[in-house]
Amino acid sequence: MTTRLLALAAAGILLSCSARAADMAIGFTVDAVTLDPGNYRARDTETLLRLMYDGMTTHGPGMKVVPELASRWQQRDSLTYDFTLRKDAKWHDGSAVVADDVVFTFTRLMTPGAINGQTSPRKDLLGPLKSVQKLDENTVRFVLDKPWPVFPTMLTFQEVIPKAFAEKVGAAGLATQENGSGPFRLLEWRRGEQLVLQRVGSGCIDHLIVKILPENASRVAALLAGDVDIVNELPVDSIRQVEANSNTKVAAVNGTRSFFVALNNTKPPFNDVRVRQAANYALNKQLIIDRILRGRATALNGVLSPDTFGFDASLPAYGYDVAKAKALLAAAGHSDGIDVTLDTDGAGKDMAEAVATLLTQAGIRTKVAVGEGTQVRAKWLTKGTREGDMWLSSWGNGSLDPIDIFDPTLHTGGRGNSSGYSNPEVDRLLDAADTETDQEKRLDEYKQAQMLVNRDAPWIFLWLPQDIYGVSARLTGFTPSPDGRLNLQDACVK
């Protein structure tokens, strides 16, 4: 009897060890907060929801905005866009995606109090969208309040939901159930542990299991153990280990988050442009990129990443030049150097210490002050007290359009303008570019604004880190995307 039990146990263990050939798993850092595409704001939730739900548009190769549920769109005038839906688009329950679904989705997002008396946290991602109307069964018209050239781009952030399903299950049902039109349907959501998805239609993999692994070491261990085929946010410290393993490799792509040190432009010593320029010359950022970020970042000389519309590769670079930094400091009346504090949260502590050490060597004697993230952010928000000298900060730009990063961080009074920078000419150029529908003119306006910002140096321009993934060697058909999406339609495991 005991032998039989042991044999059964061994069989059970072996059975649960064997991987099913057509299944693949992902080690992902955070669980979705909800499955309701209208009731969240976290980017990680968006990444997971996008496996199940489609949008009107999405990012194609090279981050080009392409139709997804739509087959095409037409801009009637600067305020009006007509979208035609794909005729073959179906919800997972088999019903067709129709104009009523799109109208319902966007009305729910735009209308205050539409979700059980609460307003969608995604409302302001729709900018000046005024109305959405059904023209016929397959055509929808979006009308804006004012010109907003990034509208098709911003639609990539919204997932469309089926009206009938949403009305049937309500907000509570949408939060835990799914009926999307994306490549995977939900089989099981074990909160905090895993999402089990099934491929819809033809595809190489049958099941996709998203395992929630917040701890870096565990995520890497899962990859090395062959437990998962992709891990996101691979720590740079683990790159060598993953590369050394014959069953795993590293895949990376430029991210969308620009890093910088916000200098307080509203008070001494950084209210003097020479001191700000000195700080830029004083920092050997290439050394940090090479040694700490293991080369997995691109040095920036402005706010925009190389993949963003309007990026100007010809911006003058602030090369590492201690003599020049000291000369600029002396010209500004600081021949003995300056004493300043660099604010950071716990996550940025190591990097802040590296930056501080290098600045100190060039006469900008920098102390690092580590605070709790929320408190530090509150101190440096536009409406905050802005008493600090420097803040190690960053800004994400998922749309890869300047409107989503340039305006908030560098326009006078912008909601993320932590440095208090203000240049009326930059404001004028940004205001013009925001509503300019002629893309050539718009490009030129952003280039001019970048040149002014580069000269004014409101920040120490730092870098754009790569998004790094660990992937198994048996996986094919997966290329990381700068927007963080997991495009697994063509993924295959051998």
Partner 1 sequence: MILRRLLHLIPVLLGVTVITFLMMSATPGDPAEIMLAGQNASAEQVASLRHDMGLDQPAAARFVHFIGHALEGDFGQSLFQRRPVVSVIGERLPATIELSVAALVMSLLVAIPLGVLAGVNQHGIVDRLATIGSLLGVSMPGFWFGILLLILFAVRLRWLPVSGEIDFSALPPHVTGLLLIDAMLAGSWRSFVDALRHLVLPAITLSLPMAAVLTAVVRASMQEVLRRPFVSFARAKGVPEWRVLIRHALRNALLPAISVAALETGSLLGGNMIVETVFGWPGLGRLVVESIFQRNYPLVQVAVLLYAVTYVLINLAADLLYMALNPRVRL
Residues interacting with partner 1, by CB under 8 A?
8-9, 12-13, 15-17, 20, 27, 33-34, 36, 39-43, 112, 115, 117-119, 121, 123-125, 171-172, 175-176, 187-188, 190-194, 196, 207, 209, 211-215, 217-218, 221-222, 224-227, 372-375, 377-378, 381, 395-396, 404, 408, 415-416
Which of residues 227 and 343 has its CB atom nearest to partner 1 in the complex? 227
Min separation Cβ 133 and partner 1, Å: 24
SS3 at position 304 = coil
Amino acid at the residue 16? S
Smallest separation, CB 207 to partner 1 (Å): 8
Nearest to 68 by CA among 60, 56, 53, 50: 56
State how beta strands 230-231 and 463-472 pair: antiparallel
Q: How far apart are CA 464 and CA 253, in angstroms?
A: 11
The answer to whether the CB of 393 falls within 8 A of the CB of 344 is no
Would you say 226 or 477 has its CB closer to partner 1? Answer: 226
User: Minimum distance from CB of 348 to partner 1 (Å)?
Assistant: 15
Q: Which is nearer to partner 1, 198 or 286 (CB)?
A: 198
Euclidean distance between CA atoms 66 and 432, whole angstroms:
25
CA–CA dist 249, 246 (Å, integer) = 8
Structure tokens at 305: 């990443």
Residue 82 or 427: which CB sits closer to partner 1?
A: 427
Q: Name the residue with tokens 């102390």.
A: 367
Min separation Cβ 218 and partner 1, Å: 5
- Positive or negative torsion for Cα 402, 408, 410, 416: negative
The answer to whether residues 466 and 252 touch, using CB atoms and an 8 Å cutoff, is yes
Q: Which is nearer to partner 1, 175 or 327 (CB)?
A: 175
Neighbours of 2 (CB within 10 A): 6
Q: Are 471 and 229 in contact (CB under 8 A)?
A: yes
Q: Which is nearer to partner 1, 220 or 359 (CB)?
A: 220
124/431 with CB nearer partner 1: 124
Identify which of 58, 161, 145, 37 has the alpha carbon closest to the alpha carbon of residue 103. 161
The smaller minimum CB distance to partner 1, of residues 40 and 270, is found at 40
Least separation in angstroms between residue 398's CB and partner 1 is 8
Q: Does the N-terminal peptide bond of residue 67 adopt cis geometry, omega within 30 degrees of 0? A: no
Least separation in angstroms between residue 336's CB and partner 1 is 36
Min dist CB 121 to partner 1, Å, is: 6
CB of 358 to partner 1, least distance (A): 28
Q: Which two tokens stand for residue 25?
A: 């798993």
Residues 332 and 274 sit within 8 Å (Cβ to Cβ): yes
